[in-house]
């Protein structure tokens, strides 16, 4: 099973402050930078699944989903 990525996996994050002491930018290591797209994809995938499940529950006939019992023999 694939490990899930979380923001806690970002180990080397630095905040750059402006002249007023407010956070103005973020600096991350190259390793963490390369991890971010995978993390963002995971979030997008979860959101897509939640939306699809809601659509299936609200409009099962209009969702375009097929009943597994009807198509199982084709696999």
Tell me the helices (H) and strands (E) count for the chain, helix number first.
Answer: 2, 2
Q: Does 2 reside within a domain?
A: no
Q: Does 74 reside within a domain?
A: no
Q: What is the pLDDT of residue 12?
A: 79
* Domain range for 56: 31-60
Q: Does 69 reside within a domain?
A: no
Q: Does 36 reside within a domain?
A: yes
pLDDT in tens, 54-74: 888 887 777 777 788 888 888
Strand 13-17 relative to strand 23-28, pairing: antiparallel
- Which helix (H) or strand (E) element contains residue 17? strand 13-17
d(CA 38, CA 14): 20
Q: Does 40 reside within a domain?
A: yes
Q: Does 44 reside within a domain?
A: yes
d(CA 39, CA 6): 7
Residue pair 14/27 in contact by the 8 Å Cβ criterion: yes
Count how many domains the chain has: 1
Q: Does 43 reside within a domain?
A: yes
Q: Does 56 reside within a domain?
A: yes
User: Which of 11-20, 27-36, 54-63 shows the lowest mean pLDDT across its residues?
Assistant: 54-63
């Amino acid at each position: 099973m694939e490990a899930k990525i979380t923001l806690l996996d970002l180990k080397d994050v630095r905040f750059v402050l402006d002249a007023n002491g407010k956070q103005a930018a973020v600096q991350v290591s190259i390793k963490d930078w390369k991890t971010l797209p995978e993390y963002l994809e995971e979030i997008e995938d979860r959101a897509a699944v939640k939306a699809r499940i809601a659509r299936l529950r609200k409009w099962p006939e209009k969702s375009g989903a097929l009943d597994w019992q009807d198509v199982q023999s084709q696999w």
